[in-house]
Structure 1
């Protein structure tokens, strides 16, 4: 798949093109016997991660040669103090992909100063690209766009159960699975890819919960930007402003869903009565 882009493209168009270029590689290499590259602590990359990231970098270098990039595999490229930095996760869900599970995402986001001003999350196997220009959020299928509309109607809440758990034992997402109020109101899902964050913006999930420190995260930046632009409620795990205090992420389709989950999460806190 050939992705053509020029310097006249907007940042959102660049993000979409880059995500689609990476998604094409991920799709084309699916099912092949791929080399694995150990990253420690049980984590690894595949040849598809590296090839997809290179395809994304090629688009970004052609369209925005002066911008810096942080890639999941390549690390930091360009000036460390660059005001414009692209955050690239070429294959979010590598373990899923390695065992031929189709639940993966390709994430590209632009941080300008302290804000994410453009982002795209592509699903390689549905030809869907969730994208934002920093103000509104859309789903592109083929060449058609439709606005992302959050909804809690599914009652599905995605939980990230993967380590690290910096706030344990005071908070563990897994404990929500045994919380009576959670069981009564919601249905858990664990897809192990941040595609699920984009699904909250799209109304396919009621909420998403994870621990961790996510500032400048190549995994989460695109999904968070999509949710904010779509009008979701986005906070840290204890309801605090994102990327402050305990960190984490609690994103919900609406205020009622967010308040219910926040109450359940806060019941785990040892410092509260």
Structure 2
């Protein structure tokens, strides 16, 4: 769903938007921040809010008629709008709050282009919905997933909506996992971009409808366009009827992880 009626393609809007958010995140790093409690141990900061406002400024200027759903500001425009942007201005807030640079800025047009920015490496991963690329120092390189990397990122953050049927942590106890993979837990959806880029073999998370999540939509779009295999933890398509997420560089890795998940949930 690429719209260039305003003189700029949707993919360029997504890139400009995440770049604006990443600039705020990078500029405020290491400075004092205000904490905004959300309950159940979750919180945001005024950096999250400022980054989201910077992103919204780009989208409003380029696509004033589009709806936006942001992690911090909620829904702006009709929730059932045909064109809706999903915005996660700072994925990895707890990491950021303690001085850890493992964070991501995510922007996705539902069922369309998307972009993920790493504020500290300067990399911007993006897709027009058909191909996936990374921009480094002004140069674009096609993303190439690979299962040769033994690293698998596993999301262990609560809540655990699939429990007691499945908790991602149980996957790590499967004897076959340690024989083939090495787990990583970065607690940010930047890991999805790393699967698309060949820095991870796979990513696993339990949960509900992650395709429509502001946290996951951009990373899922990126991985699909890069040619990764993307399903729920039950092997079903990701969506309202699906559960969680298994993204793998190739079909063999994906099948192996699904077999392990079935073994620990049977």
Q: Normalising to structure 2: TM-score of the pair?
A: 0.96
> Hey, what's the Cα distance between the residues in 2 that align with 1:31 and 1:244?
38
Cα distance, 1:7 vs. partner? 2.8
2:235 aligned with 1:239: yes
For residue 202 of structure 2, the aligned residue among 207, 223, 229 is 207
> Hey, what's the Cα distance between the residues in 2 that align with 1:144 and 1:242?
32
Residues 155-202 of structure 1: CA deviation (Å, up to 9, x unaligned):
100000011111111111101111100011000000000000010000
SS in 2 for 1:267: helix
Cα distance, 1:238 vs. partner? 1.2
Structure 2 counterparts to residues 216-227 of structure 1, below 5 A:
216-227=212-223
Structure 2 counterparts to residues 3-22 of structure 1, below 5 A:
7-22=6-21
2:190 aligned with 1:195: yes
SS in 2 for 1:225: helix
Residues 181-240 of structure 1: CA deviation (Å, up to 9, x unaligned):
001100000000000001000000000000111131000000000000000000000111
For residue 142 of structure 1, the aligned residue among 112, 130, 137 is 137
Unaligned runs of 5+ in 1: 1-5
> Hey, what's the Cα distance between the residues in 1 that align with 2:51 and 2:41?
21
SS in 2 for 1:268: helix
Cα distance, 1:246 vs. partner? 4.6
> Hey, what's the Cα distance between the residues in 1 that align with 2:176 and 2:192?
22
1:37/1:45 contact within 8 Å kept? yes
What do you get for the CA RMSD once the two structures are aligned? 1.1
Residues 46-103 of structure 1: CA deviation (Å, up to 9, x unaligned):
1110000000000000000000000000000012221000000000000000000000
1:86/1:109 contact within 8 Å kept? yes
Residue 159 of structure 1: aligned partner: 154
Structure 2 counterparts to residues 234-273 of structure 1, below 5 A:
234-270=230-266
SS in 2 for 1:20: helix
2:221 aligned with 1:229: no
Structure 2 counterparts to residues 39-118 of structure 1, below 5 A:
39-111=38-110, 115=111, 117-118=112-113
Residues 225-269 of structure 1: CA deviation (Å, up to 9, x unaligned):
000000000000011111254510000000110011000001123
1:71/1:88 contact within 8 Å kept? yes
> Hey, what's the Cα distance between the residues in 2 that align with 1:215 and 1:224?
7
> Hey, what's the Cα distance between the residues in 2 that align with 1:80 and 1:254?
34
Unaligned runs of 5+ in 2: none
Are the structure 2 counterparts of residues 41 and 128 from structure 1 closer, same or farther at C-alpha, using a change threshold of 3 Å?
A: same
> Hey, what's the Cα distance between the residues in 1 that align with 2:242 and 2:60?
36
> Hey, what's the Cα distance between the residues in 1 that align with 2:230 and 2:54?
31
Q: Which moved more, 1:16-25 or 1:139-148?
A: 139-148
